[in-house]
Amino acid sequence: MTKIKKALIPAAGLGTRFLPATKTVPKEMLTIVDAPIILYVVEEAIQAGIEDIILIAGRGKYAIEDFFDSSYELEDKLAKEGHTHMLERLIKVRDKANIISIRQKHALGLGHAVLCGAPVIGDDPFAVLLGDEITTDDGKTGSLTSQLCRTFEEKGHSVVSVMEVEDKDVSRYGIADVEDSADNCYRVRSLIEKPKPEEIKSRWALTGRYVFENSLLSLLKEARPTVNKEIQLTDSMNLLAQNSPMWASSFSGTRYDAGDKLGYLKANVEIALKNSEFGAEFKKYLQEVSQRL
């Protein structure tokens, strides 16, 4: 049984859907309630038992790397004033995992971003968590990444997370054609990136959480740009699924595409509603405002 100990978080995209905010602020650093998106993603990886987290950052995205660095002056001041709880979440993360940063020199696509992590991934299987998506779980089954890691350990082959989308939305996602199954784990037949509705046999969309066998990397080395002239991860995943079993698992929790304005707002609202300090008051405010406007 191989345990997944490495995770790669691509965070080098240009964030064009979130302009003008993302002109100087990386979208992965936009705040959900009180923490940047990337911290939620890193916490999800750690919760799954990941020890080495490889951040793929790009030009102008130094803030992501700096965020995980220690900041002696600030930490010393907070310690002296007895306010260390303010940085507790961040310090916990730093203590539990090695955060390694690799530069993607040009945003050539998600497939290329994953390949940039190859020197640190070595020969191991690995998880991929998109740096602009966050997930919340039902509190019983564990985070999405821990569910995927468990399935990988059980099956011994790649496993990816999927959700069912409407026909009108399939062209926004990578779509998996899968075999029928009695439970929520399906054998993948093929995958296609951003298909036209007439090109698909199912509406299972990839959701930004994956665990891969290491052989994906050799396929990515040979990959060429396709859709949007980018090196698409989905193309190499499709080849991998032809050579080796790949499983698609549907997830019981909630996933937010926080790199998209509406998804970002939904994540903020839902996570704020669960906040123990002000969630109840915020709920009252939302009820009042929804009647007023």
Q: Which residues are at the interface with ligand UTP (CB under 6 A)?
A: 10-18, 28, 56, 104, 107-110, 112-113, 130-132, 259
φ, ψ at 93 (rounded to 5°) = -65, -45
Nearer to ligand UTP, 157 or 258 (CB): 258
CB of 218 to ligand UTP, least distance (A): 20
CB of 44 to ligand UTP, least distance (A): 14
E-state strands within 104-232: 126-129, 133-136, 158-164, 174-178, 185-193, 204-212
CB of 102 to ligand UTP, least distance (A): 10
CB of 256 to ligand UTP, least distance (A): 12
* Closest residue to ligand UTP using C-beta atoms: 13
Nearer to ligand UTP, 110 or 150 (CB): 110
Nearer to ligand UTP, 107 or 165 (CB): 107
Q: Where does residue 142 fall: left (phi above 0), alpha (psi -120 to 50 degrees), or beta otherwise?
A: left
| The two structure tokens encoding residue 174 | 């990578």
In sequence order, which residues have a C-beta less than 8 Å from that of residue 24 and are 6 or more positions away? Answer: 60
Question: In the beta sheet, which residues pair with residue 141?
Answer: none
Nearer to ligand UTP, 37 or 188 (CB): 37
Nearest to 127 by CA among 272, 2, 276, 262: 2
CB of 74 to ligand UTP, least distance (A): 27
